[in-house]
């Protein structure tokens, strides 16, 4: 009988309890590809799952981990063969089926992306769901007319929740693409980190956090990537330049949207929804090749830190409180 090590969540007395366990391979879910997992990651949603929030997991015992990277061990699909380097983000893996906080994962071949040469498993997880989301946001802004035009003030792009996972990758990407990036953060002590990623200016999170009192404010942003939602997103809508767009990615500051339709009607602005979870495979592959081309991979060293699987449960409340900087890579074998 073959076993593998996994972080397993149990529901006990109404609480979600994590335990590192040895799991029989026969318990892996159905799927045509079995992957030997090397690295996973900690995303905001992993934090919610580990803390039992949002009723994202309906069946326990459960193996969380919405991202993983590794090597194909067994494949019943013609698309992959043993030894192929692969990774996975989203598709509700780690939520409605077992995920990447385990030495083995079994999934449908359609969920896997072949890892491009030049991108290590560790780098793929330093990017992960958060980085894919940032890239999808940038692509959506570009489709709606955003261009760098030499990083002039007229092309200032705002990133909210800038020191988090989505935010850090968005700052690095947009700056590498030539935009003047303004990083909104509640952690001014991370100035050096954010300017190191290419932010030209920091904006206090509080400056965007109040419910807007008027429908139109001074036009400032040529585009925005918003990981925060709530009053912050509502405020951004009032400050977008004529015909500019904001890509709404997250809800770290709230899921409501106390906004007015006036900026849509008088400034022709766009509110672009970003979903990385069920995003079609062709669009993901295109986004990953953009990431491999446009994200300075060297910056992933600054953005990410590696932690052993055993440390993940204690980091979960911290990511939900906005205390994690950049990306956490999980060393599944560690």
Ligand X SMILES: NC(=O)c1ccc[n+]([C@@H]2O[C@H](COP(=O)([O-])OP(=O)(O)OC[C@H]3O[C@@H](n4cnc5c(N)ncnc54)[C@H](OP(=O)(O)O)[C@@H]3O)[C@@H](O)[C@H]2O)c1
Instruction: Please report, as ranges, the residues that interact with ligand X according to CB under 6 A.
Output: 43-45, 129-130, 133, 161-167, 185-187, 205, 227-228, 232, 249-253, 274-277, 319, 322, 324
Q: Which is nearer to ligand X, 4 or 44 (CB)?
A: 44
Whole-angstrom Cα distance, residue 330 to residue 334? 8
By beta carbon distance, the residue nearest ligand X is 164
Q: Is the dihedral of CA 84, 85, 87, 93 positive or negative?
A: positive
Shortest gap between Cβ of 127 and ligand X (angstroms)?
11
DSSP structure class, residue 189: G
> Least CB distance from residue 5 to ligand X, whole Å?
25
The distance of closest approach from Cβ of residue 49 to ligand X in the complex, given in angstroms and rounded to an integer, is: 11
* CA separation for the pair 226, 147 (Å, rounded): 18
Using CA atoms of 36, 41, 47, 48 in order, give the dihedral in degrees to the nearest 10. Answer: -60
Helices (H), 240-325: 262-267, 281-294, 300-303, 312-320
Q: How far is the CB of 222 from ligand X (least distance, A)?
A: 21
Nearer to ligand X, 72 or 319 (CB): 319
Give the 3-state secondary structure of residue 318.
Answer: helix
Choice between 80 and 179, CB closer to ligand X: 179
> Judged by CB, which is closer to ligand X: 127, or 249?
249
3-class secondary structure, 276: coil
Minimal distance in Å, beta carbon 290 to ligand X? Answer: 16
Which one, 113 or 324, has the nearer CB to ligand X? 324
Q: Which residue has the tokens 């993940």?
A: 312
> Which residue number, 72 or 287, has a Cβ lying nearer to ligand X?
287
Q: How far is the CB of 277 from ligand X (least distance, A)?
A: 5
State the Cα–Cα distance between residues 302 and 169, nearest whole angstrom.
Answer: 11
What tokens appear for 87 in the block? 């990774």
């Amino acid at each position: 009988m073959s076993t593998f090590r996994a972080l397993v969540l149990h529901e006990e007395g109404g609480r979600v309890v994590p335990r590192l366990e040895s799991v029989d391979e026969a318990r892996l879910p159905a799927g045509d590809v079995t992957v030997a997992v090397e690295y996973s990651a900690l995303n905001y949603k992993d934090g919610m799952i580990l803390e039992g929030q949002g009723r994202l997991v309906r069946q326990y015992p459960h193996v969380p981990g919405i991202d993983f990277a590794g090597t194909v061990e067994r494949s019943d699909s013609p698309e992959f063969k043993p030894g192929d380097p692969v990774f996975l983000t989203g598709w509700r893996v780690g939520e409605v089926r077992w995920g990447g906080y385990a030495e083995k994962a079994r999934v449908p071949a359609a969920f896997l992306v072949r890892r491009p040469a030049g991108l290590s498993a560790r780098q793929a997880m330093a990017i992960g769901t958060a980085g894919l989301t940032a890239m999808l946001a940038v692509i959506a802004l570009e489709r709606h007319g955003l261009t760098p035009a030499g990083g002039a003030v007229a092309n200032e792009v705002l990133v909210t929740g800038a020191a988090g996972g989505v935010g850090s990758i968005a700052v690095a990407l947009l700056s590498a693409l030539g935009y003047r990036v303004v990083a909104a953060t509640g952690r001014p002590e991370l100035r050096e980190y954010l300017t190191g990623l290419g932010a030209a200016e920091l904006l206090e999170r509080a400056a965007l956090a109040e419910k807007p009192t008027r429908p139109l404010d001074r036009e400032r942003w040529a585009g925005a990537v918003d990981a925060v939602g709530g009053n912050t997103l509502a405020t951004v809508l009032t400050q977008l330049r004529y015909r500019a767009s904001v890509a709404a990615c997250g809800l770290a500051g709230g899921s409501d949207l106390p906004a007015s339709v006036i900026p849509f009607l008088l400034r022709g602005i766009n509110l672009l929804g970003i979903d990385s979870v069920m995003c079609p495979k062709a669009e993901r592959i295109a986004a990953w090749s953009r990431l491999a081309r446009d994200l300075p991979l060297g910056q992933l060293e600054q953005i990410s830190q590696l932690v052993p699987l055993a440390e993940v449960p204690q980091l979960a409340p911290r990511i939900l409180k906005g205390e994690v900087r950049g990306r956490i890579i999980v060393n599944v074998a560690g």
